[in-house]
Amino acid sequence: MKKYYPIATPILNGNEKKYVMDCLDSTWISSNGSYLDRFEQQYALFNNTKHAIACSNGTTALHLALLAHGVGKDDEVIMPTLTFVATPNAVTYCGGIPVFVDSEPETWNIDTSAIENKITARTKGIIAVHLYGHPANMDPIMELASKYGLFVIEDAAEAIGAQYKGRMAGSIGHTATFSLFGNKIITTGEGGLITTNDDNIADTIRLLRGQGIDKHKKYWHPVIGYNYRMTNVQAAIGCAQLEKVDWHIQQRIRVAMDYYHFLQDDDRLTLPVQKVWSKNVYWMLGVVLNQSTEQQRDAVMKRLKDNGIETRPFFYPMHILPPYSDKQIYTDFPVANRIAAQGLNLPSHGELSREDVQFISETLRNNL
């Protein structure tokens, strides 16, 4: 029987079952319980931030962070066009307007040299997305934010454990958000986190996360809130995952280094980089098929699928999606357009052996 290579799979090889059973035995299975406090405290310590606030998923994490920074009707928020749709959607939920910026060609992250031209009197903030596990170049972003009085949110959904100049991704901007979906480096099944060093921002997020209930007066709701809470069961899984977070990160890096070994000499491919100022955690090992069209890339993916290898294309740039295309000029984004059309992600999870990566790499090379 042909072996199947999924693009992602969660690894639950620690205390996940033990902690979940303890949670079930306690009957604290909803949005209160000891594992929630423990998970938040442990993640804040891991990420070197004062606060970590758990929520229902990475998209609600973004929504809460934007609300806490006061984004409202017609406020503009600058972000890369090459990102997952949750990034602009969360701005839209607030009544704001996503403003897209092209990618830079090496890290595939936001082109920091193109941000300032997109700043207007309506600009409220910048979202820096750490795409596929490589941190964005944060110093120029923070300098622009300081110059123009803007907030910075790090969308670190894909970058748990990544570092920028020795600092943890998610500890540099004013606020950061993480996803704990089943394909992420650590997971709670569904889930998200917001990190910040700002006490006021943290208090606002906690208030909004739990239906806006005043923490000092039961069933008193001074604001319109949301039910964006994480369950104690999910947090129990998260605590177990965090106990082995360094191992989980190292497995992604190990798999990536194996891909480098087998693919780096093929000039038909561009592999992800690791800038000298960064630690890339390689959430997804993406490759760009140089000189290919989108149709040719899709045909390669089809041939890999026929060999039992699951892949996925890079994200479509946000400016071409129907909800966001009407106000965008496509020629503003040549790098993102090219990378999105030529890029594909290979299986990247920690269950892969070196032999698995060799087979996937050879199959890719033979089907270009």
pLDDT tens for residues 91-143? 999 999 999 999 999 999 999 999 999 999 999 999 999 999 999 999 999 99
For the segment 161-175, the average pLDDT, to the nearest whole number, is: 98
CATH superfamily of 245-366: Aspartate Aminotransferase, domain 1 (3.90.1150.10)
Can you read off the two tokens belonging to residue 316? 């479509």
- Alpha-carbon gap, residue 316 to 250, rounded angstroms: 29
Residue found by looking up tokens 């205390």 in the block: 15
Which pLDDT does position 76 carry in this prediction? 96
User: Could you read off the pLDDT of 194-236 as tens digits, one per residue?
Assistant: 999 999 999 999 999 999 999 899 999 999 999 999 999 999 9
Given a cut of 70, whether residue 89 has pLDDT beyond it is yes
**In the prediction, which pLDDT does 215 show?**
87
pLDDT average, residue stretch 3-32: 96
- pLDDT score recorded for residue 328: 60
pLDDT for 284 equals 97
Q: Residue 94 has what pLDDT?
A: 98
**For 76, left (φ over 0), alpha (ψ -120 to 50), or beta?**
beta
Check whether 316 has a pLDDT greater than 70: yes
The helix (H) or strand (E) run that includes residue 201 is helix 199-209
Q: Is the pLDDT of residue 329 over 70?
A: no
How do the domains of the chain map onto residue ranges? Answer: 16-243, 245-366
Q: Return the SS3 of 168.
A: strand
Q: What is the spatial distance between Cα 160 and Cα 249, in angstroms, rounded to a whole number?
A: 8
pLDDT band at residue 276 using 50, 70 and 90 as cut-offs:
very high
207 SS3 class: helix
Is the model's pLDDT at 365 over the cut of 70? yes
Contact 160, 113 (CB under 8 A): no
Q: Which range (149-158, 163-172, 209-218, 305-314) has the least confidence?
A: 209-218
68-79 tens-digit pLDDT: 999 999 999 999
The helix/strand/coil state of 129 is strand
Q: Report helix, strand or coil for 184.
A: coil
The per-residue pLDDT for 134 is 98
Please determine, for residue 331, whether its predicted confidence score (pLDDT) is greater than 70. no
Take residue 328 and report the two structure tokens written for it.
């965008």
Q: Which two tokens stand for residue 203?
A: 């208090």
Q: Quick check: 54 pLDDT over 70? A: yes
Q: What pLDDT is stored for residue 115 in this prediction?
A: 97
pLDDT band, residue 330 (cuts 50/70/90): low
Topology, domain 16-243: Aspartate Aminotransferase; domain 2 (3.40.640)
Q: Give the rounded percent of residues in the chain with a pLDDT score beyond 90.
A: 96
pLDDT-derived band of residue 326, with 50, 70 and 90 as boundaries?
confident
